Chains A and B, each alone.
Chain A
Amino acid sequence: MEQSTRSATDSLAFKDVTACYNDAKDRASQEAEMRDKNKAKEIQFKASHALLIFFFLWIFLLHAIGIYFFTNGFLLTRLVLDHKSNCKSPPIELGQQSPASFADGCWHPKTFDKAVIIIIDALRYDFTIPFSGEPHHFHNALTVLDETARQIPEKAFLLPFIADPPTTTLQRLKGLTTGTLPTFIDAGSNFAGTVIEEDNLVAQLRDAGKTLVHLGDDTWHSLFPGYFDANLTHAYDSFNVWDLHTVDNGVTEHLLPLLKPENSTKWDIIFGHYLGVDHAGHRYGPDHSATNAKLREMDTVLREVIASLDEKTLLVVMGDHGMDVKGDHGGESDDEIEAALWMYSNKGVFGRGHNGFMVPPATAKDRPVGQIDLVPTLSLLLGMPIPFNNLGAPIAEAFIGPGKPDWQNVATVNALAAAQISNYQCEYSQARGLNEDVFSLPQAFWKDGLQSWREGLKSGRHSDRFRPAFESFSKHQKETLKICRSLWARFDIPSMLEGIAILICAVVVLGTYARSSRPNTLELIPVYLAQMTIFGTICAALFSAITLLVFGSGLVNAALLGLAAGGISGFTYASVNLLQSFTLPFPRSLWGWLGVVLTLSQSIGFASNSYTIWEDEILLCFLSTFASIAFASSMRQELFIERILGMFQAGIFLVLTRLASLSRLCREEQMPYCRSTYYASSTSSTSAPWQLLIPLVSATLLPTVIKIYYQPTRSYQGSATFWNGFAARLGLLASAIYWGLDAADDNEWLAVDKGILQTIKIVIARLILGVSLVVGTTMFVWSKPCISIQVTPEVNTSANGDVDPKPKSMKVFGYANVHGTRYFLLVINWLMAIVLLQKPMGAGAIGILAVQILALLEIVDTNNLSQSAIGPVVLGLLGSFHFFKTGHQATLSSIQWESAFVALKTIRYPWSPLLVVLNTYGAQILTTIAVPLIALWKQPLKKPRLLGDVAKALATLLLYYAVINLATTMWAGWLRRHLMLYRIFSPRFMTGAAVLLTVDLIGILVVIGSLRWNFASIAEVFGWN
């Protein structure tokens, strides 16, 4: 066996194999012996390969169980019920007439026919009440609300209006129209879209045949698409924070004419959404003259609206949330949740006095109402049924009437709301399988209320007698709300800790396996596997048995927990037994430390919202640091040619990293220090025409560049010429054409029917995916190594004139990189598929990624780093970096859902989600598939324990992602009360978890799976190692 076939200059592109046999008999026995040996080695390889799959499956299992337990405790979920409230069937018959018609009111006689509902985004309560001390800019500017509520209390009231966090406009609008609490994920709703599917006030109004008009913030249209009258509605972009006036001027300009008497029949409900105050807050902060000017402008507008209001119309003005001292919002601080609510009507039906507050409260702490209370209030005032999922209570001021308190009316509306909440409770408990006594306390209040109601009726309808009923119903609502809030908004700390503990152990397991310095980790796999499986099974059985006996439920969780705990104990047990030949997995070189430091500093950074926001720039700096050190290291090569090669590759890596960094999709929080380049403009999600050139350039250059990396070892042979030179070129070109057609479709450049164009596009896309993943995989399984064997038949003529036809000498071209060049074909396959699913800019980024991978492989080879942790870690960093460069961010909103339609007309499972995954995590998938190359590239053919090296490299890459996932998980759990939880930490945790599970699966299914064919194909030519 040749121990070292590496020549110093890597010039050993071919190898002389000279066969020399003494005589035929000897040869026959030798061949038979070799065949047997070969067979034995083949079996050995296949066995260790299969065991490897199971080992990594265990790792995946640990990760999945850890993430499952954490998620269970962390992500607040609420089941959305699809039930709708019906006008004809009130939830309770109260012994009095329910008109049950839209004309008079559904459950309760209606007070108003029409309504103008104005939302002043970020209208904090203290903006609206008078301030006597040293005023800030936001004080005493918007005075009309307080003034009217004081002077004409029967016509207007002003109350603090408390928002449920997260205080973002989208989530608030959901709360304001459905009357229920927002959660991070509404299980059951369409995850992709933001459309509200559950019962809500806007849908009820539309179904009642009302003409709805919307003016302002276009968030309404993503929530209620097609609900509004197309002619009268005017929507404006909501994210243009720097523009204070366009939206507001637009709303005012269209609102005032509609209020004129001649237009009064054209509409029933107007929703006006002003953004100026919010934008002024974001841009300047509340204590700034711009905010003052905005509030004054609102004051003027509202006075004009009041002046043109008729008797039948209700005017509602409210803030959807407040703002913090910097003018931002999203979290749950007092300043952010304390908005204002003001109602006005010329009819004079409002009252006070049921709780002693005759004038607007001085602070938002006194007499606050919840934002969810708006839904039942508006529903009953306008004669609508209360939406089914509502948890709010009618606001007493709107129903108690002027003068003497009308307790009967207040009790009636509260009874209706309580009955509807009771129905909801019942349905929710059933759907979720909740225990009956969860809602026992509110049920008791409900019964009390009914009892008091009946007593009130008996007392001859004396209004005061209904007060106890009102109080009981009110308690019922508050108690239910409290329970629901705790059901949906409670973090289950033990479950989160279990998840984190499992994830920590999984990191230790992976780290021990990947970085312990044992020369042959492959031999350990059977021991590990046996112990993990035995312990795992026993613990799972034990845990579930105990749980079953003690608690009687929660079997699945107990079994999973037992499985994880057992697997970890099994691994520990096996490791302790093997301790004598074991060293701690600490790095022993600057390179190893670099890998550790980069991974850990990135992980620590996730504790800060700033470093999470700027992760893309940090990764750029890290990758540049690696390239610079690689450059310096290459300068230390003694041989000129190696030095130049290393310098050149490091330089390419450095420049390409910076080039790729030009592709950016900024997240909201990066503004104004970031300019998006991924699409034509920061407000569009289509590509600019010049960007269509990027995939074209990529298609032209990339196969050539790959060829250049094959050529120094004379490996551009066999399958490589066809697959890279032809199939990849054609595939990449086809995706360039696809995106050209896509742009033509968007911009209507071609006079072709849209349907035909779409069909053509889908055919092209499916062809590419078919060729890259189906044909490509088949090709990869069958392909010969990228070598060519040149046989020189040195025709010897022996003494008796016989010609010896045996070849005496043969040259193997491509010998120096047999493993690497063949395996890279797999990378090319996936490259084609991933490029297709990226937007044109992303195709460029993925192309750059492919070249960077090749440059990294050369750097790893010239610096002799194939065993170091740095190679896989840099691949991991590259994967994370290009995740951002392909137009993604760690936010839900940056997921490119439309990629599901690249190859499909409609959503189809499981294909649509797979396409989205391939689009979202394309960079991480590609780098994972490339990771065996760290251990294989330019390594000697017969290098011992090559499979073990590959497994270690893969484990190291998974370790990188596992550490990142662990860090984001821990920080998300630790910072669960942080203001930025929903905007930053939670999405980053979800991204990290999704990446880890994806990468685990790709590692098992694609990487380890493909290795078998790679080794088998090479062994077919050269014999098993």
Chain B
Amino acid sequence: MTETTTQAKPRKLIPISQSISVLPTDTARIYNYIHPILILSLYYLYFPSLVADPVSTLKNSIAPLAHLQIIYCIVCLPPSKGSSTQSTPSTTPKKVVQFAKPAAKPPATLASRIIPAILSLLLSLSLSAPLLTVILILFGAPLTTHFWHNLLCATHISLLGVLPLFYVHGVDGRIWREISGACLPFDEVWGGVVGVVVGAWLGAVPIPLDWDREWQKWPITIVTGAYLGWFVFRFAGEYLLRGKRIEFD
């Protein structure tokens, strides 16, 4: 950027996270394609009633969405080993080169996949959904009205983007610092997260237009943007951008 960067110390976090891959089973590979189509079909199915009655539709579609996402995690994704087995790496990254997961192998028991999936669901409902609600409000969502709209919109974003993130990366502090620094390498999970955020952001674009359409109501366009962004970016993350990281400087 400038000559000052040259004299700046290498004081940036050196990311250690690596791209994850879909489990090397045939079911996983096939379902990896079916799942996004299922999610989008679900959304398409719900869209008319979403426009008619956003709150109850968003509420009713949480359960199907959560189920689909959990099934996807269990079938396709390598679960996190849990943070207890890994000590938080020291700040010098050289020692933790081998920290990243070894080549993904399908875990032996189903239970070892179901339990992290359930935990991820709980975390994405109880932790990230309220947090995302706050962020929505900070970005200009109505503060005193539309509480349920905001919360349910955040819940959908959370289930779509954050649930697999919990499942894959667990609750390791170091990884979550990288996640909040947006410096994960692209893969289908991180691509999904970026897609949800970018999509929801772009979803706000049509709201002010004076077209007087029902679907311009809060938060329909946001949710739509999130779903579409998720769909596009999870594929982009899987193929086009795989392994790349977002660079700020």
A628 contacts which chain B residues (CB < 8 A)? Answer: 135
> A608 contacts B209, CB within 8 Å?
yes
A635 an interface residue at 8 Å Cβ cutoff?
yes
A614 contacts which chain B residues (CB < 8 A)? Answer: 208
> A610 contacts B208, CB within 8 Å?
yes
B246 an interface residue at 8 Å Cβ cutoff?
yes
B91 contacts which chain A residues (CB < 8 A)? Answer: 638
> B180 contacts A635, CB within 8 Å?
yes
B 170-184 binary contact with A (CB < 8 Å = 1; else 0): 000000011011110
- A258 vs B1: C-alpha distance when bound (angstroms): 79
Chain A: minimal CB distance from B244 (Å): 13
B249 contacts which chain A residues (CB < 8 A)? Answer: 589-591, 864
Chain A: minimal CB distance from B249 (Å): 5
B7's partner among A4, A8, A625, A629 (CB-CB below 8 A) is: A4
Known: A4-B7, A610-B210, A864-B5. A621 touches B204 (CB 8 A): yes
Residues facing A in B17-58 (CB within 8 A) are none
B 1-23 binary contact with A (CB < 8 Å = 1; else 0): 11111011111111000000000
Residues facing A in B173-201 (CB within 8 A) are 177-178, 180-183, 201
Chain A: minimal CB distance from B158 (Å): 16
Chain B: minimal CB distance from A1017 (Å): 24
B178 contacts which chain A residues (CB < 8 A)? Answer: 635
- A157 vs B12: C-alpha distance when bound (angstroms): 83
Spot the interface stretch: A434-442, A654-662, A686-694: A654-662
Main secondary structure of the interface of B (DSSP, over half): loop
A 622-648 binary contact with B (CB < 8 Å = 1; else 0): 001100110111111111001000000
Whose C-beta in chain A lies nearest to the C-beta of B246? A590
B102 an interface residue at 8 Å Cβ cutoff?
no
Residues facing B in A389-443 (CB within 8 A) are none
Chain A: minimal CB distance from B6 (Å): 10
A183 an interface residue at 8 Å Cβ cutoff?
no
A642 contacts which chain B residues (CB < 8 A)? Answer: 11
> A636 contacts B181, CB within 8 Å?
yes
> B5 contacts A624, CB within 8 Å?
no
Chain A: minimal CB distance from B149 (Å): 14
B100 an interface residue at 8 Å Cβ cutoff?
no
Count of chain A residues with Cβ under 8 Å from any Cβ of B? 44
Known: A636-B181, A638-B13, A639-B11. A589 touches B139 (CB 8 A): no
B119 an interface residue at 8 Å Cβ cutoff?
no
Known: A624-B140, A866-B4. A636 touches B209 (CB 8 A): no
Residues facing B in A935-991 (CB within 8 A) are none
- A657 vs B248: C-alpha distance when bound (angstroms): 23
A135 an interface residue at 8 Å Cβ cutoff?
no
> A636 contacts B9, CB within 8 Å?
no
Chain A: minimal CB distance from B162 (Å): 15
Whose C-beta in chain B lies nearest to the C-beta of A632? B182
A85 an interface residue at 8 Å Cβ cutoff?
no
Chain B: minimal CB distance from A189 (Å): 32
A592 contacts which chain B residues (CB < 8 A)? Answer: 1
- A633 vs B248: C-alpha distance when bound (angstroms): 7
Whose C-beta in chain B lies nearest to the C-beta of A673? B208
B246 contacts which chain A residues (CB < 8 A)? Answer: 590
Q: Which 5 A-B pairs have the closest CB atoms?
A: A635-B181, A867-B2, A614-B208, A636-B181, A632-B182
Known: A621-B204, A625-B201, A636-B13. A589 touches B177 (CB 8 A): no
Residue among A588, A654, A658 having the largest count of chain B Cβ atoms under 10 Å: A658
> B12 contacts A590, CB within 8 Å?
no
B137 an interface residue at 8 Å Cβ cutoff?
yes
A519 an interface residue at 8 Å Cβ cutoff?
yes
> B138 contacts A655, CB within 8 Å?
yes
List 14 interface pairs A-B (beta carbons < 8 Å), by A numbering. A3-B7, A4-B7, A519-B3, A621-B140, A624-B139, A631-B180, A632-B181, A635-B177, A635-B178, A635-B180, A654-B138, A661-B140, A864-B5, A864-B249
> A8 contacts B201, CB within 8 Å?
no
B214 contacts which chain A residues (CB < 8 A)? Answer: none
B209's partner among A4, A610, A624, A661 (CB-CB below 8 A) is: A610
B138 contacts which chain A residues (CB < 8 A)? Answer: 624, 654-655, 657-658
Residues facing A in B153-170 (CB within 8 A) are none
Q: How large is the interface on B (under 10, 10 to 19, 20 to 34, 35 or more residues)?
A: 35 or more
Chain A: minimal CB distance from B160 (Å): 18
Known: A637-B13, A638-B11. A589 touches B1 (CB 8 A): yes
A620 an interface residue at 8 Å Cβ cutoff?
yes
A204 contacts which chain B residues (CB < 8 A)? Answer: none
Chain B: minimal CB distance from A333 (Å): 16
Binding site for A on B (CB under 8 A): 1-5, 7-14, 91, 135, 137-140, 143, 177-178, 180-183, 201, 204, 208-210, 246-249
A 53-75 binary contact with B (CB < 8 Å = 1; else 0): 00000000000000000000000
A 589-630 binary contact with B (CB < 8 Å = 1; else 0): 111100000000000000011110110011011001100110
- A654 vs B139: C-alpha distance when bound (angstroms): 8
Known: A632-B180, A638-B12, A639-B11. A658 touches B208 (CB 8 A): no
B9's partner among A8, A625, A662 (CB-CB below 8 A) is: A8
- A14 vs B209: C-alpha distance when bound (angstroms): 55
- A3 vs B4: C-alpha distance when bound (angstroms): 10
Known: A4-B7, A610-B209, A867-B2. A633 touches B201 (CB 8 A): no
Known: A610-B210, A635-B177. A620 touches B11 (CB 8 A): no
Whose C-beta in chain A lies nearest to the C-beta of B181? A635
A868 an interface residue at 8 Å Cβ cutoff?
yes
Chain A: minimal CB distance from B136 (Å): 10
> A864 contacts B3, CB within 8 Å?
no
> B248 contacts A589, CB within 8 Å?
yes
> A864 contacts B13, CB within 8 Å?
no
Chain A: minimal CB distance from B181 (Å): 3
Chain A: minimal CB distance from B214 (Å): 15
> A620 contacts B139, CB within 8 Å?
yes
B208's partner among A519, A617, A867 (CB-CB below 8 A) is: A617
- A642 vs B9: C-alpha distance when bound (angstroms): 13
- A299 vs B182: C-alpha distance when bound (angstroms): 67
> A864 contacts B4, CB within 8 Å?
yes
**20 further contact pairs, Cβ within 8 A, besides A8-B11, A642-B11, A658-B140:** A8-B9, A589-B247, A589-B248, A589-B249, A591-B1, A591-B248, A591-B249, A592-B1, A610-B208, A611-B209, A628-B135, A632-B248, A635-B180, A636-B181, A636-B248, A639-B11, A657-B138, A863-B248, A864-B5, A868-B2
B4's partner among A8, A590, A608, A867 (CB-CB below 8 A) is: A867
A636's partner among B4, B12, B139 (CB-CB below 8 A) is: B12
> B208 contacts A613, CB within 8 Å?
yes
Known: A611-B208, A617-B208. A637 touches B12 (CB 8 A): yes
A636 contacts which chain B residues (CB < 8 A)? Answer: 12-13, 181, 183, 248
> B4 contacts A633, CB within 8 Å?
no
Residue among A519, A592, A625, A635 having the largest count of chain B Cβ atoms under 10 Å: A635
Residue among B139, B182, B246 having the largest count of chain A Cβ atoms under 10 Å: B139
- A866 vs B2: C-alpha distance when bound (angstroms): 9
A591 contacts which chain B residues (CB < 8 A)? Answer: 1, 248-249
A868 contacts which chain B residues (CB < 8 A)? Answer: 1-2
Chain A: minimal CB distance from B213 (Å): 12
- A266 vs B80: C-alpha distance when bound (angstroms): 90
Chain A: minimal CB distance from B221 (Å): 13
A655 contacts which chain B residues (CB < 8 A)? Answer: 138
- A642 vs B7: C-alpha distance when bound (angstroms): 17
Whose C-beta in chain A lies nearest to the C-beta of B7? A4
- A866 vs B201: C-alpha distance when bound (angstroms): 27
> B210 contacts A609, CB within 8 Å?
yes
- A634 vs B201: C-alpha distance when bound (angstroms): 21
> A864 contacts B8, CB within 8 Å?
yes
A611 contacts which chain B residues (CB < 8 A)? Answer: 208-209
Whose C-beta in chain A lies nearest to the C-beta of B180? A635
A 653-692 binary contact with B (CB < 8 Å = 1; else 0): 0110110011000000000000000000000000000000
Whose C-beta in chain B lies nearest to the C-beta of A608? B209
Whose C-beta in chain A lies nearest to the C-beta of B177? A635
